[in-house]
Amino acid sequence: MAHVKRNNPRLQQAYIDTVGPKALKEFGLENVHQLPRLTKIVVNAGIGKYLDNAKLKPEVRDQFMNNFATITGQKPIMIKAKKAVAQFRVREGMPSAFMVTLRRDRMWHFMDRLINLAIPRIKDFRGVKDKSFDKGGSYSFGLTEQAVFPEINMANATITHGMHITFVFENSDPKMSRFVLSELGMPFVKPEERQKKK
């Protein structure tokens, strides 16, 4: 019986058809179950500087909610501080961030737009840093403003905010995750550019 392909998102299909087999060979893995697996992408933005007397103005809240929904295709949740931090004037229960966790098709579609539409719009862009991997191979980096996403109309924006994006891998390590992300098109900083910064 012939294998019928599901209509997978473009980057997921690229992983199945090309990147996965290359990773098997590159790292001497014996079967597909040993491959690193991207399980979710977490997008969050801190909102501490927008609080007024520990409250978030409705118009600011709505701007964050709308931006996240437009960028990710998913409604964000508000995260509240779990404990007080005196030096940052944070009280327990205060709003601290908005967060979206993307899985399956939404994750792959977001990654495709991020790599191919948003990141290339960063001014004077020379590549994302390739050092922000944890021991399990998950990778994080930040964007300074929402304007890099073409879906956002800054003419309607009342605030400018950045965001922190984490690619969460399972069954991986920094070397394997970097290989997979690079093969999928993540524009990591080139060695010659890294030398210029030193």
Q: Which domain holds residue 170?
A: 44-197
pLDDT confidence of residue 181: 97
pLDDT confidence of residue 93: 60
Per-residue pLDDT, averaged over 70-91, amounts to 73
Q: Indicate whether 146 belongs to any domain.
A: yes
Question: By percentage, how much of the chain surpasses pLDDT 70?
Answer: 82
Q: Indicate whether 65 belongs to any domain.
A: yes
* Alpha carbon 30 to chain centroid, angstroms: 30
Q: Indicate whether 187 belongs to any domain.
A: yes
Least confident interval from 26-35, 37-46, 105-114, 146-155 = 146-155
d(CA 60, CA 90): 18
H helix and E strand count, the chain: 6, 7
Q: Indicate whether 51 belongs to any domain.
A: yes
d(CA 142, CA 183): 20
Total structural domains in the chain? 1
Assess whether pLDDT exceeds 70 at residue 8.
Answer: yes
Assess whether pLDDT exceeds 60 at residue 28.
Answer: yes
**Token code pair at residue 176:** 């394997």
Are the beta carbons of 35 and 24 closer than 8 angstroms?
A: yes
pLDDT in tens, 162-183: 899 999 999 999 999 999 999 9
pLDDT confidence of residue 2: 44
pLDDT confidence of residue 94: 66
pLDDT band at 135 (very low <50, low <70, confident <90, very high): very high
Assess whether pLDDT exceeds 70 at residue 46.
Answer: yes
SS3 61: helix
Decide which of 193 and 39 is more confident.
39
Q: Indicate whether 86 belongs to any domain.
A: yes
Q: What stretch of H or E contains 13?
A: helix 10-14
Cβ burial, residue 180 (10 Å; 0-12/13-18/19+): buried
First-last CA distance in the chain = 57
d(CA 46, CA 115): 22
Indicate which CATH number applies to the domain containing 193. 3.30.1440.10
Assess whether pLDDT exceeds 70 at residue 82.
Answer: no
Q: Indicate whether 170 belongs to any domain.
A: yes
Q: Indicate whether 12 belongs to any domain.
A: no
